[in-house]
Amino acid sequence: MKRFRIVVNGTAYEVEVEEMGQGPVTAAPPAAPAPAPAPAPASVKQETTSVTAPQPAVEKPAPSPQAAAKPAPVSAGGIKVEAPMPGTILDIRVKPGDSVATGDVLVILEAMKMENEIVAPQDGTVKEIATTQGASVNTGDVLVVLE
């Protein structure tokens, strides 16, 4: 028997190791090969048909990520900021008459348990708030009108 002192995580252990055999180590015998599959019965008549491979799908270009606010001109010369997805209005950060710059947060829209900032697509002045806090909106609903 051999004695060893081993330190594990700062704790010292004394262990004794017994040698079991002097001969070479042998591997386990190899497993028996799997049986061959049974041949198909000779009386079965196989029918062949020609099959053509389907054409590869035409790859459509990936749609570009939709901007958080999609501008659409209004007849009065304003810009409609629409909801990019269905959700609930958590907060309205502007009021009519506020000046906004491109990228300023106008509205916080909750969709799929995520808060999405709806931002101004361009510089302008808030003309109208077309939604209310807590309202449910659908894709394309007008949230804010800028001029």
Extents of the domains making up the chain: 70-146
What is the pTM (predicted TM-score) of this model? Answer: 0.48
CA distance 118 to 108: 6
Cβ proximity of 91 and 105 under 8 Å: no
Q: φ, ψ for residue 54 (rounded to 5)?
A: -65, 150
∠ CA 144-82-121 to the nearest 5 degrees? Answer: 75
Written as tens digits, the pLDDT of the chain (147 aa) is 788 888 888 898 888 887 776 666 666 777 777 777 777 666 656 566 666 666 666 666 655 544 444 444 444 568 999 999 999 999 999 999 999 999 999 999 999 889 999 999 999 999 999 999 999 999 999 999 999
Three-state DSSP class for 81? strand
Q: Please give the pLDDT value at position 104.
A: 94
Residue 74 confidence (pLDDT) = 44
| Residue with tokens 């309202």, as numbered in its chain | 135
Identify the pLDDT of residue 15: 87
**Fold adopted by 70-146:** OB fold (Dihydrolipoamide Acetyltransferase, E2P) (2.40.50)
C-alpha dist (Å) from residue 104 to 31, 40, 82, 119, 122: 70, 73, 15, 5, 9
Pairing mode of beta strands 105-111, 87-92 = antiparallel
